[in-house]
Amino acid sequence: MCLAIWQILLKLKKMQQHKYSGLPISLGVSLGVLLISYGIGSASISMGDAFRVLLHKLFGTPLPQTIQPSTVSILWSIRLPRVLMAFFVGGALSVSGAVMQSVLQNPLASSYTLGVSSGASLGAAIALAFLGSVPVLGRLSMPVFGFGFGVLTVFAVIAISSRLDRNVQSSTIILFGMVISLFVNALLTLVESLNHEYMQRILMWQMGSFSGRRWFHVQIVAPAALFGTFCLLWFHRELDILSFGDEQSMSLGVDSRKIKRILLVLASLMTGVSVCFSGTIGFVDLITPHLVRKVYGASHKRLLPLCLLYGGSFMVLADTVARTIISPREIAIGAVTALIGAPFFLWLYFRKRD
């Protein structure tokens, strides 16, 4: 599947007469992926019926009487929000990953480098183990605590790095990101060992899933992903310059100390919002920026919107596999992204070396 995606991407590149035409073509590809994934599922509903329901809901076209209300409900209230949720989470993680890689000048950095995932997992575990369901927050206890702890962890990493290193160099941030992640992971292990009965739920949350995600979740994550991408896109020239390193950035006129912190916080907030509703899903944030850079170049003006589209599409495809391959059971999406992503990444790496 990955090889096929890669071939399609290369063909798309050749089709482009102009480098900026990548966006409309990629938009078309993403729309296609969204529609196909919306049409595929464990419930035996034909692709035709799925599209009729979509047209009915969007444009009010008449619905054939053969389509049951339960089918409409499955498609509109369960499958479509799930597909959209996967798209926006995948997109947000990929954009965030691209920014982290550029700001830290490290192609192996990811949206989790600053400890968002460790912090979010700890927050979710605390909410589950000690607080039960907080009355005011209800079902949102885990996401809210996950988001809060994830963001707090990032702030801690940036605050400590800034205090100890006046220039907030990338190596310092990566080092403290690792150290604090390990510390937070140790706290997580402690919480888990004191609360065996919740261990499985915590583990499931960490592996990630889009099961049971509804329009309510999409209404939070979609604007966050779109607005976050726009905010980061605003800094596309600074991101291009920061990719060359701190000293060069300063010499070209970028206040790297200040801009870096803004970008890291923005990218981490995007990751935090995504992770708190889906769990920590790896690889998409690492692999999408690499693929997009290879095909469309490194300029962030193109890279960020394309990461949103292709990262979203990759996650939608992975979720389709996760929910259909051993239907009616599901597998954790984190396992699917890693199973596809790891060999693909290796193939890409060795292909380049050859």
Partner 1 sequence: MSIRLQNIHAGYGKTEVLHGITFSVEEGERAAILGANGSGKTTLLRVIAGILPAQGDVLLHGQKLSEMKRRQVASQVAMMMQVSQTYFSYTVEETVLLGRYARTEGRFGKCTPEDQAAVDKALSLCGLTELKDRSVSTLSGGQLQRVFLARTMAQDTPVILLDEPTNHLDLKIQAELMGHLKEWSKEKGHTLLGVYHDINLALSMADRFIVMKEGTILYDGDEKALLEGDVLQEAYEMDVAAYMRDQYERWKTKGL
Minimum CB separation of residue 166 from partner 1 in Å reads 7
Contacts (Cβ under 8 Å, ≥6 apart) of 348: 6, 290, 291, 294
Minimum CB separation of residue 23 from partner 1 in Å reads 13
d(Cα 232, Cα 22) in Å, to the nearest integer?
19
Minimum CB separation of residue 347 from partner 1 in Å reads 18
**Burial (CB count within 10 angstroms: exposed 0-12, middle 13-18, buried 19+), residue 58:** exposed
Would you say 87 or 296 has its CB closer to partner 1? 296
Minimum CB separation of residue 247 from partner 1 in Å reads 5
Minimum CB separation of residue 157 from partner 1 in Å reads 21
Would you say 162 or 299 has its CB closer to partner 1? 299
Cβ-based neighbour number of residue 119 at 10 Å: 33
What residue ranges bind partner 1 (CB under 8 A)? Answer: 102, 105-107, 166, 234, 236-237, 240-241, 243-245, 247-248, 250-255, 293-294, 297-299, 301
Helix residue ranges, H only, the chain: 2-15, 22-39, 47-59, 69-73, 80-103, 116-126, 141-164, 170-194, 199-207, 215-234, 236-242, 246-252, 256-278, 284-296, 300-324, 333-353
Whether cis (ω within 30° of 0) applies to the bond prior to 64 is no
Minimum CB separation of residue 252 from partner 1 in Å reads 5
Would you say 194 or 247 has its CB closer to partner 1? 247
Q: What is the 3-state secondary structure (H, E, C) of 112-140?
A: CCCCHHHHHHHHHHHHHHHHCCCCCCHHH
Would you say 155 or 244 has its CB closer to partner 1? 244
DSSP structure string for 212-267? T--HHHHHHHHHHHHHHHHHHHHTHHHHHHHTT-HHHHHHHT--HHHHHHHHHHHH
Minimum CB separation of residue 237 from partner 1 in Å reads 6
Would you say 211 or 248 has its CB closer to partner 1? 248
Would you say 243 or 324 has its CB closer to partner 1? 243
Alpha carbon of residue 48 to chain centroid? 30
178, 164, 96, 278: CA torsion to nearest 10 = 50
Minimum CB separation of residue 336 from partner 1 in Å reads 28
Would you say 164 or 194 has its CB closer to partner 1? 164
Would you say 53 or 109 has its CB closer to partner 1? 109
